[in-house]
């Protein structure tokens, strides 16, 4: 009877551990910058100030309250090991919707 070899998948030269619900921390050193906003100009000035690549911008939303946007931001931060909450406006306009964003740094 022939013996089967079990191959373990490799990603970027690293073996997967098989651990569930844990972030994969491979070789990449990209940090994900997370924030929320109401006005597009705020994101534009933020990315220029931090000198981030605008092509890595991802926008999500709309959220209908600041609390809903904050919950999204905190949950995402908890799921991405190498992330930073970097932009949260102190005040907001109750008539405008909230949006979230991420950048790669």
pLDDT tens-digit readout, 30-61 = 899 999 999 888 888 888 888 888 888 899 99
Query: What tokens appear for 55 in the block?
Result: 């092509």
Residues whose CB is less than 8 angstroms from the CB of residue 95 and which lie 6 or more positions away in sequence, other chains included: none
Please report whether residue 8 resides in a domain: no
pLDDT at 76: 96
- The larger pLDDT score, comparing residue 7 to residue 75, is at 75
Please report whether residue 77 resides in a domain: yes
Please report whether residue 9 resides in a domain: no
Please report whether residue 51 resides in a domain: yes
Q: C-alpha distances in angstroms, 22 versus 19, 71, 80? A: 6, 20, 10
Query: In which domain, by residue range, is 69 found?
Result: 30-104
DSSP structure string for 59-88: EEEEESSHHHHHHHHHHHHHH-SSEEEEE-
């Amino acid at each position: 009877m022939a013996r089967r070899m079990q191959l373990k998948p490799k990603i970027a030269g690293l073996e997967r551990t098989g651990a569930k619900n844990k972030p994969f921390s491979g070789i990449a050193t990209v940090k994900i910058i997370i924030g929320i906003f109401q006005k597009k100009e705020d994101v534009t000035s933020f990315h220029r100030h931090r000198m981030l690549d605008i092509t890595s911008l991802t926008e999500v939303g709309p959220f209908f309250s600041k609390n809903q946007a904050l919950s999204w931001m905190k949950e995402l931060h908890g799921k991405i090991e190498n992330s930073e909450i970097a932009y949260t406006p102190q005040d907001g306009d109750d008539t405008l919707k909230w949006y979230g964003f991420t950048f790669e740094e």
